Structure 1
Amino acid sequence: MTHSVTLVVVLAASLIAVASTTIVQDCGSKATVTEVRVSGCEVPPCLLKRGEDIVVEIDFENLKETTKSLTAKVHGNIGGIDIPWFGVDKDACNDLTVGDCPVDGTEKIYYSAGVPILSSYPSVAVIVKWQLLTDNNENAACFVVPAQIV
């Protein structure tokens, strides 16, 4: 492969990776969140299809302290009321694809969790809040994203 063809392939792969990032709002992460991906969603509101599963991925690093565990806490806010999102493993350590628990402060962590969108959910607008909490109940990573259950 020539140098120019290699450069084009690398640039194309980079654009694909960037294109899959979801625009979210940070809600007090203590770590540096480098990327959040919600499958099928780049620009909110994310369309969550009933009867299907989505994948939520969070990449972060530089957590200021070591934590023995990470706890996933996910809520959907509908009309100002927080409703727990069922089906997400609370032990976020089970969903780490890079890194492990305990989390060292300098470690790169890639988290990937499957999320069921149940057929019984109503078609409604929701603000999803996703937190990965440390031992001290602080946000290692936290984001909110508007979504629409369809």
Structure 2
Amino acid sequence: MFKSTFFILATIFCLVILADGTKYRDCQNVKSEVNDAITSLEISGCEKPPCKLRRGTTTFLHETFIPNRNINQLKTSVKAILLNLPVPFIGVDNVDASKDIYTTDGQKAEWPLIAGREYHYNNSFAVEKFYPTVAPIVHWALVEGNDVVTCFLVNARIV
């Protein structure tokens, strides 16, 4: 009960702080329904790109999405694109995302996820102190095997 209440309050707080949402771009080379799956995206401290990711802090991400098919499991695919080279985002790439998926009422999602229903993906990640001060394009996707379920691109600056 406490976890559900905490999640709901944390989500409301994030939504109030980030009411306008984060501006992002669709991913290229994916099916159009993948780009249409995301209905809103908020990244803490980022109303407009480039998102400033401060080293030594934690960044919060809230994505609302509607899958176009039933989903059995989700993993992250998170890359920092530098000079057109995708570099895995340490600690966030290839991580089980299933534990971070919630229903619209704040409860942990039951699996499989059902096509056409709205879900919330909440994540937080450390911006490590050893990250270089660069300006990557962040490519963030939720994948099931080799199939992309959601995907977005956002310009960032690690400071």
TM-score where L is the length of structure 2? 0.77
Quickly say closer, same or farther: Cα 1:24–1:104, change in 2 above 3 A: same
Choose from 80, 95, 117 the match for 2:100.
Answer: 95
Larger Rg belongs to? 1
Partners of 2:154 and 2:36 lie apart in 1 by 18
* Identity between Structure 1 and Structure 2 (%): 31
Other-structure match for 2:147: 138
Amino acid in the other structure paired with 2:61: V
Partners of 1:109 and 1:82 lie apart in 2 by 28
- Equivalent residues in 2 for 1:12-31 (5 A)? 16=16, 19-27=19-27, 28=30, 29=34
How far off its partner does 1:44 sit? Answer: 0.2
Displaced runs of 4 or more, over 4 A: 15-18
1:118 aligns with 2:132: no
Other-structure match for 2:118: 108
Other-structure match for 1:74: 78
Alpha-carbon deviations, 1:28-69, whole Å to 9, x = none?
A: 4265211011111010000000000101111011x2211211
| Structure 2: runs of 5+ lacking an equivalent | 1-14, 104-108
Whether the 8 Å contact between 1:36 and 1:58 is mirrored in structure 2 is yes
Amino acid in the other structure paired with 2:95: K
**What is the DSSP-based 3-state SS (H/G/I as helix, E as strand, rest coil) of the residue aligned with 1:94?**
helix
Whether the 8 Å contact between 1:67 and 1:134 is mirrored in structure 2 is yes
1:45 aligns with 2:55: no
1:85 aligns with 2:89: yes
Whether the 8 Å contact between 1:31 and 1:140 is mirrored in structure 2 is no
**What is the DSSP-based 3-state SS (H/G/I as helix, E as strand, rest coil) of the residue aligned with 2:136?**
strand
Give the structure with the higher percent strand: 1
Partners of 2:156 and 2:35 lie apart in 1 by 24
